[in-house]
């Protein structure tokens, strides 16, 4: 297991280098907005634009620019400086990462608890009225875009502008760090958590229901029942343990992507996280920021997949790594 983890970590380094190169090629070689022209403002002086390009090193050959970027990144951990405000990208990412992590992890807890509970109940009461109702509602939740659901939630339930205001649902722009005020932090993220978790919970519920129905018809489940085990123990210890494996896979992918930046939710609720930071960078063609957010997202995704592979070995005794 240890050798397997070391090999995977080495592949993480290789993958991040490949991702950085592809990101560089996309934004440096393909036609995009000129960062120097955007920084110079509207109707800029051509001499000013050229001077900005020279200061940012944009006139150097592409391979030289990429070499300088990787040299700073590998040997100094330097992600560069923003073209827009000359701020250190690494510092900005570390400052904004706690907000994105709070959004992603809080939503993950809600959708896991809800999705697993609904999936188990629907599987055990298959084809009942409750099953048809929950699966019908899950289709609605899956079909609703996150940004639309967020706007509707603000319009209906936000404490400041909602038509049916709920006092503990803070409106957009109310986020404060946990260290500053834990109570306000929780209230400001509760509505984004619910909005972000709705679609995932519905998808996980349907996936678990289908897997658990199939597992509960296996021979070893009938054997466990014949031994006199309680139905609760049969379902939770034997059935759920086998049926939940695809859920772990989906969770690793989804959580890795969300930790890299929940762009839509952070934009709708005006949360100063990595997702909103990357959205602003793409709008302004701020290449160092785009590269930094892409690398951060790729890192979270590959690490989440590594954790999933390790968890597999504990969930399924047949899985062995060497």
For the domain made up of 93-315, give the CATH fold: MetI-like fold (1.10.3720)
* Higher-confidence position of 192 and 224: 192
pLDDT band at 190 (very low <50, low <70, confident <90, very high): very high
Q: How deeply is 118 buried, as exposed, middle or buried, from its count of CB atoms within 10 A (0-12, 13-18, 19+)? A: buried
Separation between Cα atoms, residue 34 and residue 58, nearest integer Å: 10
How far CA 87 is from CA of 78, 168, 242, 286, 300, in Å, comes to 12, 35, 49, 11, 23
pLDDT band at 247 (very low <50, low <70, confident <90, very high): confident
Separation between Cα atoms, residue 155 and residue 148, nearest integer Å: 11
Domains of the chain, by residue range, sit at: 36-78, 93-315
How far CA 226 is from CA of 110, 213, 214, in Å, comes to 35, 19, 19
Residue 107 in contact with residue 198, Cβ under 8 Å?
no
40-58 tens-digit pLDDT: 767 777 888 788 778 777 7
76-127 tens-digit pLDDT: 888 888 877 778 888 998 898 889 889 988 999 998 999 999 988 888 888 8
User: Strand, coil or helix: what is 30?
Assistant: coil
* Higher-confidence position of 89 and 238: 89
């Amino acid at each position: 297991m240890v050798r397997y983890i070391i090999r995977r970590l080495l592949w993480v380094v290789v993958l991040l280098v490949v991702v950085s190169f592809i990101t560089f090629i996309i934004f440096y070689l393909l036609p995009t907005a000129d960062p120097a022209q955007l920084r110079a403002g509207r109707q800029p002086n051509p001499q000013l634009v050229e001077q900005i390009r020279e200061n940012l090193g944009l006139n150097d050959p592409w391979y030289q620019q990429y070499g300088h970027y990787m040299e700073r990144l590998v040997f100094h951990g330097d992600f560069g400086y923003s073209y827009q405000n000359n701020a250190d990208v690494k510092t900005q990412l570390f400052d904004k990462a706690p907000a994105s992590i709070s959004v992603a992890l809080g939503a993950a807890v809600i959708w896991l608890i809800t999705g697993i509970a609904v999936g188990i109940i629907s599987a055990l009461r298959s084809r009942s009225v409750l099953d048809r109702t929950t699966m019908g509602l899950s289709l609605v939740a899956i079909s609703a875009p996150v940004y639309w659901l967020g706007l509707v939630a603000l319009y209906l339930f936000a404490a400041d502008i909602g038509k049916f205001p709920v006092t503990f649902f803070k409106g957009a722009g109310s986020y404060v760090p946990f260290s500053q005020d834990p109570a306000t932090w929780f209230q400001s993220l509760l509505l984004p958590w619910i909005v972000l978790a709705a679609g995932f919970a519905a998808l996980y519920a349907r996936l678990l229901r289908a897997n658990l129905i199939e597992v509960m018809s296996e021979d070893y489940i009938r054997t466990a029942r014949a031994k006199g085990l309680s139905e609760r123990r049969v379902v939770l210890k034997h059935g759920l343990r086998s049926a939940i494996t695809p859920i772990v896979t989906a969770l690793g992918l989804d959580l890795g992507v969300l930790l890299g930046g929940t762009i839509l939710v952070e934009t709708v609720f005006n949360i100063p996280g990595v997702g909103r930071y990357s959205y602003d960078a793409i709008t302004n063609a701020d290449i160092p920021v785009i590269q930094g957010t892409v690398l951060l997202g790729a890192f979270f995704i590959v690490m989440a997949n590594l954790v999933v592979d390790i968890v597999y070995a504990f969930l399924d005794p047949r899985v062995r790594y060497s």
